[in-house]
Every structure is written in structure tokens, then in C-alpha cells.
Amino acid sequence: MFEASELNIRNRKIESLFRILFLLMAGLLILPVAIILAILTYKGSSVISMNFLFTSPTEGMTAGGIFPALIGTIWLVSVALLFSVPLGVAAAIYLSEYARDNWFTRIINLAIINLAGVPSIVHALFGVGAFVLFFRFGTCILAASLTLGIMTLPVVIVSTWNALQAVPMAFREACWNMGATKWQTIRKIVLPNSISGILTGIILMVSQTAGETAPIMFTGAAFFLPQLPQSVFDQTMAMSLHLFVLATQVPGVPEDVPYGVAFVLIALVLVMNSLSIAFRVYLRGRKKW
């Protein structure tokens, strides 16, 4: 009797020890985010102004704003999305809902895993070879966005696949039993109940895409190009490359400016993420199980 309760006390102590340990570990995660945000806000917010956001860089990029880079990033990300979202979601639907476990499916899965493991600089070289040279797009938004799109395809496929798999099998079977085709089941039950997960993956992909530098450097992003792109066959400036250039390539840039660019880039990503969270909360409010 007495021994058992001593054991209980010891177990309780170990239990709370581990809980605190894990809590600390999780808490540590906040630290880098907080520090980055603090530094960027502290050093960068002073340069943010309407002028900074909505004018072109001047005087060898040591003054003026970032408007062409901002617009360029939006172009690059949007065109990349137009390519990778339909393709990635379709591939994930095939893999999750239609594919049987055979050699073909296994090869596709292997390809996705390998694609995810390719470093971005290798994607850049592939983009140059395939889109710039072979398809003769030249260095332009289209070539850069396709490169970005291919690079982020695994993210879209895997996250969409996970979202689809989270829908209980019993729902599908109940539908099939009613005489629904696979596509009817996907449209009426599977997609409506996985859409928030799918969107999360897409938003993650947007954040990743907005920050990439290597894949666009040789395929479509320009060092300095004050006018805005008119079509996908134009080159463009981009936030990520602009930051890299200001921080390492151009002498005489005021110290605060790169921080300002980074601040805007992060703000862009944070806004996207918050939008997705808000949207997910909205969708979860309507979640049906």
C-alpha cells in the first residue's frame, strides 16, 4: 500500500518533469521567429513608407522604393500558382483516390520524393535548360514561374494528398454504396471536406515561392529593371533577388534599406499565412464532422 503510493508520487514527478521539458522545447520554437521579427521591425520599419512601397529604385538602387520588385514577386508567384496548383491537386487526387498500388504508382511516388529532394539551384539549372533554352521562352516571368512551379509541385502534391487521406474511408464507401461514381464522391464529399487542408498546403507553397531566389536568378528575375512587366514574356525584378542584390552587390546602400525589403517580404508572407488561417477557421466553422 505504502510502496505503491510512493511509486505514484515518483511517476507524478517524472510526468510533470517531462511536461515542463516538452513545453520548454515547444516554447523555444517561438524564439527565432520573435527575434527575426524584432530585428526586422526595429531596423526595417523606419524605411517603410508609401514612397518606399510604390516607387521604383533610383540612384543605382541606393534610394527610391521597391515597387517593381513587389509587383514582380506577385507576378512570379501567381503564374507559378496557376501552373502548380491545378497540376499538383490533380496528381494528388489521382494518387489518393484512383491509383492502385502497382509499379506505376510507385514510380510516381518515387519521382515526387526525388523532386522534393532536389536543391533549388539544380532546379534553376533545369529551368534554364528546359524553359529558357529548349522551349525558347528566354529569361522571363514564364520561365521563372514554371521553374518555381515545378520546384513547389511536391509540396502541393504531398499536402493535398494528406488532406484527402484525412477524409475517413467510410464516407467514400457510403457514397459508393449509393451508386456514386468515384468522381461524384470526390466532388460531393472528399473535396468539400479536405479543402481547408489543401488550401493550407497551397499557402505554404506561396510563402516558400515568394522567398526563393536561386530558381529565378537565371530564368527570369532581373538585377535592376525599373519598369513593370507587361506580360509573362518580360523579365522582372523580384523581392528576394532584390534583397540579395542590395545586401551583397551594391555599394552605398543605407544599412536600413535591406532590412526594409526583408520586412516587406516577411510581411507579405505573414499576411498570406494569416489569410489562410482566417479562411481555415471560417471553413472549420462549417466543418461537417
Partner 1 sequence: MVTAMASLPHIDNPVKLAVKDVAISYGGRTVLESVTFDVHEHEIFGIIGPANSGKTSFLKTLNRMDIFNPSMTFTGQITFNDRDIRKWRNVYSLRKRIGVVFPLPVGLPLTVYENVALAPRLSGVTGKADLDIIVERCLERAALWDEVKDRLDSLGSLLSGGQQQRLTIARALSQEPELLMLDEFSIAVDPVTTMRIEDVLKKLKKEMTIVLVTNLVQQARRLADRMALFLDGEVVEVGITEDLFAGQVKDQRTKDYLDGRFG
Kindly list the residues in this chain that would bind partner 1 in the complex (CB under 8 A): 100-101, 170-171, 173-181, 184, 188-189, 192-193, 287-289
**CB 77 within 8 Å of CB 206:** yes
Residue in the block written with cell 525558347? 136
Q: How far is the CB of 97 from partner 1 (least distance, A)?
A: 11
Residue 92 Ramachandran class (φ > 0 left, ψ -120 to 50 alpha, else beta) = alpha
d(Cα 111, Cα 87) in Å, to the nearest integer?
Answer: 15
d(Cα 109, Cα 129) in Å, to the nearest integer?
Answer: 25
Residue with Cβ nearer partner 1 (41 or 165): 165
Residue with Cβ nearer partner 1 (13 or 287): 287
Residue with Cβ nearer partner 1 (133 or 174): 174
**CB 172 within 8 Å of CB 189:** yes
d(Cα 147, Cα 120) in Å, to the nearest integer?
Answer: 9
Q: How far is the CB of 158 from partner 1 (least distance, A)?
A: 23
Reference 51, options 72, 66, 36, 30; nearest CA is 66
159 sits in which H/E element? helix 141-165
263 residue type, one letter: F
Q: How far is the CB of 203 from partner 1 (least distance, A)?
A: 23
Q: How far is the CB of 159 from partner 1 (least distance, A)?
A: 20
Q: How far is the CB of 189 from partner 1 (least distance, A)?
A: 6
Residue with Cβ nearer partner 1 (69 or 95): 95
Q: How far is the CB of 202 from partner 1 (least distance, A)?
A: 22
**CB 171 within 8 Å of CB 190:** yes
Residue with Cβ nearer partner 1 (192 or 226): 192
Which grid cell is 206?
506561396
Q: How far is the CB of 283 from partner 1 (least distance, A)?
A: 12
Angle value at C-alpha 205, between 201 and 206, nearest 5 degrees:
120
d(Cα 248, Cα 250) in Å, to the nearest integer?
Answer: 6
Residue with Cβ nearer partner 1 (136 or 288): 288
